[in-house]
Structure 1
């Protein structure tokens, strides 16, 4: 997904992050300067749906305006059809030993 906040804001004559930050605060969403900088100039790793609702309300847009799909990136993450299966069952069937992980911690609930 591509984050499109800056373009959507510019289409509504909002040119500064501080201006949008003030508008969001007026709508009840207080955003720190650091988080606002990330939303304005970068690609946020996460965004709360409640915050997205307020941003869309302030900008009079929809989430589809802010989040642009990038199908090429999604396709690049899929494993190749020609590549061997990397599952443990496939590894065992291919003669390789599966990785055995030792459980650390409590096995039974406390009494």
Structure 2
């Protein structure tokens, strides 16, 4: 018979916008020249995405530059939570039946 197993999954909250606000930086374009001074050359669009979306990949150089600009540590930018998910094991086998996850898109009305 099938049982339940727990998969240890990590959730990340990207805190860049909050750290910027604490330094009175409210425009994503404020970061472009500051990153450039530290050898990180990103377009305005790339910086906008970096601020408004949780990056899936981030270079260590960019992370170090952000920490220097905002006078913070990586722990101040990345909040990690453990999200345990129980999944049903397939009967007669050891592999779990993992539920499908649908990604949702949240659009801010002022950016439409």
Which TM class, normalised by the smaller chain length? 0.5 to 0.7
- TM-score normalized with structure 1 length: 0.66
2:66 aligned residue: 55
Q: Distance in 2 between matches of 1:33 and 1:19?
A: 9
1:41 aligned residue: 52
- TM-score normalized with structure 2 length: 0.65
Moved more, 10-19 or 25-34: 25-34
Q: Greater relative contact order (Cα 8 A, min sep 6): structure 1 or 2?
A: 2
Please state if 1:23 is matched with 2:34: yes
Please state if 1:83 is matched with 2:89: yes
Q: Where does structure 2 lack aligned partners over 5 or more consecutive residues?
A: 1-11, 97-112
Q: Distance in 2 between matches of 1:20 and 1:33?
A: 9
Question: When the two structures are aligned, how many residues end up with a matched partner?
Answer: 82
Greater fraction strand: 2
Bigger CA radius of gyration:
1
Greater fraction helix: 1
The runs of at least 4 aligned residues of structure 1 exceeding 4 Å deviation read: none
**Shift in Å, 1:48:** 0.6
CA contact (8 A) 2:20 2:26 kept: yes
Q: Distance in 1 between matches of 2:48 and 2:31?
A: 11
Across the aligned residues of Structure 1 and Structure 2, the Cα RMSD in angstroms comes to 1.7
